[in-house]
Amino acid sequence: MDNANSQPSPQSPTLIVVLGMHRSGTSVATRALETLGASFGSNLGGAVAGVNPKGFFEDMDVMGFDIELMNATGVDWFALPAADFGRLETAQLEALQSRALALLGAKCSSGIFALKDPRICRLLPFWQPVFNQLDARVLYVVAFRHPISVARSLAARDSLPAEQSYLLWLAHVVAALRHTSGLPRALVNYDTMMETPGNALKRLSMDLGLPLDPARRETFEREFLEAGLRHTRFASADLEHINNAPTALKVLFRSLEKFADEPSPAHGQDLDEALTRAEAFLADTAPLLARDWDLEQELRQARRRVDEIEGESAERECRSAAFENGLTQATSRIAVLERELEQALARVRSREQESQAASVRINELEREQQTALALIGELKQERHCAHTRIETLEQHCRTVEAAVTARQREIDQTVTTLNSVLASTSWRVTAPLRAVRRKLAHSA
């Protein structure tokens, strides 16, 4: 650590800002801070297989804010020029700083909060005034890794050219070292942490003035650090054979590595000189880097436009193919409909013939109906006559019945009289005479 720092009280909130180039071991350095009692918040990005299987330990709220801030200043994480805060109006800058202060204030209100996002290296002119307004002690951890390893990793992950990766490494490391000069900080060499984690953790604890938890240290070394996490390992001398790496980068890395291993005054002076030399190199190349970035942006826009045009062309081709397919289907459908139409017309002609036959039959039925109606009229007339005749006959029957009834009464009276006569004495006395009479009448 460049400057000693007193150990905070348990109640004093502490913010540890982890700085470093992308793919430089910032995730390992951040995870190591857990052995010192640091927490990372509850909104962390997940691990990515093949890129960082153990996790990035980046607060997604802060990362999202940094991306917004970079967009506002006209750069991206892979941009070589520094963020241009002059593009921001005073009111816009103050509003962003107020948001950043509220965001961090909620995250490091107590305990120890470790904040990591490689973008912060180049956004320190914005963030440090915010850190100064926090009611918390601010410590820095500058993580670095061999430039060749970083370039190889970025080539695999993002297809970045090695020349761009070396310049990005230089810009990030120079910003991290310069903006934390004279402030409480610790330097973490990724390769040293991987090879001798015990010693590296003790050094980190001493530099930051935070106690090391033995149990968490054991967990960190046993479960988090794996040899498979490090895909490359280069020596300092290997950098000398890289022709497309700036000399200023080679000198700075060599001095930084020595000072991190042995923070002596002589190594510190070498590091300061190397840092000054690197700053001068970046200042000299800044116009070229800015122009290169502008050209790259124009190229990216042109590529995006080409992609859009190709996408539009592909979309048109898809629409054309869909149209042709639709046309083929429509043609086939039309043929089917034409056949159906012919069948329908045939059915219509058949129905017309049937309709004509039905009309003829209807006319016949109408004539038959008229004949039937006339016959019905005649039948009604005959029925009326029959009713009249029936009524006459009924009247005659009643008259005959009355005559029969009267005659029956006469007969009944005669029978009664006859029976009286037959039952009388005189009838019996004259019986022989009647017999003689019958005989005489028979003889005659």
Distance CA 272, CA 136 (A): 28
53 φ, ψ to 5°?
-65, -20
Q: Tell me the pLDDT band of 245, cut-offs 50, 70 and 90.
A: very high
Mean pLDDT of 122-140: 95
Domain residue spans of the chain? 14-263
Q: What is the pLDDT of residues 192-214, one digit of tens each?
A: 999 999 999 999 999 999 999 99
Query: Any idea which residue has 């006209």 for tokens?
Result: 74
Strand, helix or coil at 352? helix
Residue 57 backbone zone (phi > 0: left; psi -120 to 50: alpha; other: beta) = left
Q: Which residues pair with 113 in a beta bridge?
A: 15, 39
**pLDDT score, position 61:** 93
Residue 290 has pLDDT above 90, yes or no: no
- Topology of domain 14-263, CATH: Rossmann fold (3.40.50)
Calculate the alpha carbon distances from 93 to 71, 176, 230 in Å: 13, 22, 40
**Tokens found for residue 25:** 């071991």
The answer to whether 122 and 171 are in contact (CB under 8 A) is yes
Distance CA 413, CA 411 (A): 5
Query: How does DSSP classify residue 36?
Result: G
Query: How does DSSP classify residue 45?
Result: P
**Tokens found for residue 443:** 């003889």
Sheet containing 137-144: order of strands? 112-116, 14-19, 137-144, 185-189
Q: What is the pLDDT of residues 48-100, one digit of tens each?
A: 444 444 545 788 999 999 999 999 999 998 888 889 999 999 999 999 999 99
Among candidate residues 294, 292, 296, the one with its CA nearest the CA of residue 304: 296
Q: Tell me the pLDDT band of 32, cut-offs 50, 70 and 90.
A: very high
Q: What is the pLDDT of residues 303-336, one digit of tens each?
A: 667 777 787 777 777 777 777 887 788 788 888 8
